[in-house]
């Protein structure tokens, strides 16, 4: 009887040690396993900068052409659009009538779409004029503030159509022909 108990105890001890070895070994393998992989890929960067902004305030009694320079500082060719935001000194929105500009198509809200591809390192001058409905400007205040909103998208087959869904059809037709 005593021999049976000793045999059972040894068997249980061996079984416990075996289970512990399996658990510890599996845990060690799981937590120490690694996989290394490397791959070089470059999708490019679409970055533009707004440089050489002329005046940011304008006295409406002295109508000068306004200008800014847009430069592609990224690594891929892009299409871009720019929206001059013009408002009265007190923050009142203005009604603006833009005049057409070479190499740009503009929509009815005053966003200008560049009709060419802007390559990396290339820049373009954005020179424009406009008229403001003076009913929107206080008689004592002939000064407006000018800010710009600029967006770009990588020049690929249909990326610009997805990014610039509100673009005028005239602009889409020009870009499709490039």
**pTM for the predicted model, two decimal places:** 0.65
Residue 105's alpha-carbon distances to 47, 50, 121, 154, in angstroms, are 21, 19, 23, 19
Q: What is the pLDDT of residue 39?
A: 44
CA 112/CA 164 separation, integer angstroms = 12
Domain boundaries, the chain: 1-37, 48-155+168-176
- CATH code for the structural domain at 48-155+168-176: 2.60.40
Other CB atoms closer than 10 Å to residue 105's CB: what's the count?
Answer: 21
**Residue 162 tokens, joined:** 């997805």
Strands 57-59 and 130-132: unpaired
| Partners of 113 in the β-ladder | 81, 105
pLDDT per residue as tens, the chain (178 positions)? 667 777 777 778 787 877 778 878 777 666 665 555 444 444 556 677 766 565 555 666 556 677 788 888 888 888 888 888 777 666 666 666 677 788 998 888 788 899 999 999 999 988 877 766 666 555 555 666 777 888 888 888 778 888 888 888 898 888 888 7
DSSP state of 147: E
Q: What is the pLDDT of residue 132?
A: 67
**Residue 7 tokens, joined:** 């045999």
Determine the 3-state secondary structure of 26 from DSSP. Answer: helix
Residue 40's alpha-carbon distances to 36, 44, 45, 47, 153, in angstroms, are 14, 12, 15, 21, 23
Q: What is the pLDDT of residue 40?
A: 43
At 177, which helix (H) or strand (E)?
Answer: none
């Amino acid at each position: 009887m005593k021999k049976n108990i000793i045999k059972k105890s040894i068997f249980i001890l061996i079984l416990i040690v075996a289970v512990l070895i399996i658990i510890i070994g599996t845990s060690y393998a799981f937590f120490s396993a690694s996989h290394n992989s490397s791959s070089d890929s470059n999708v490019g960067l679409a970055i533009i900068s707004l440089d050489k902004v002329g005046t940011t305030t304008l006295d409406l009694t002295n109508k000068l052409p306004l200008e800014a320079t847009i430069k592609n500082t990224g690594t891929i060719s892009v299409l871009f659009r720019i929206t001059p935001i013009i408002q009265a000194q007190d923050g009142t929105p203005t009604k603006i009538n833009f005049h057409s500009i070479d190499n740009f198509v503009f929509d009815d809200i005053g966003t200008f779409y560049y009709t060419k591809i802007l390559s990396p390192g290339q820049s373009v001058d954005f020179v424009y004029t406009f008229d403001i409905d003076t009913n929107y400007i206080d008689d004592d205040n002939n000064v407006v503030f000018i800010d710009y909103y600029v967006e770009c998208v990588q020049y690929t087959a249909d990326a610009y159509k997805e990014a610039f869904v509100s673009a005028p059809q005239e602009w889409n037709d020009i870009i499709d022909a490039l």
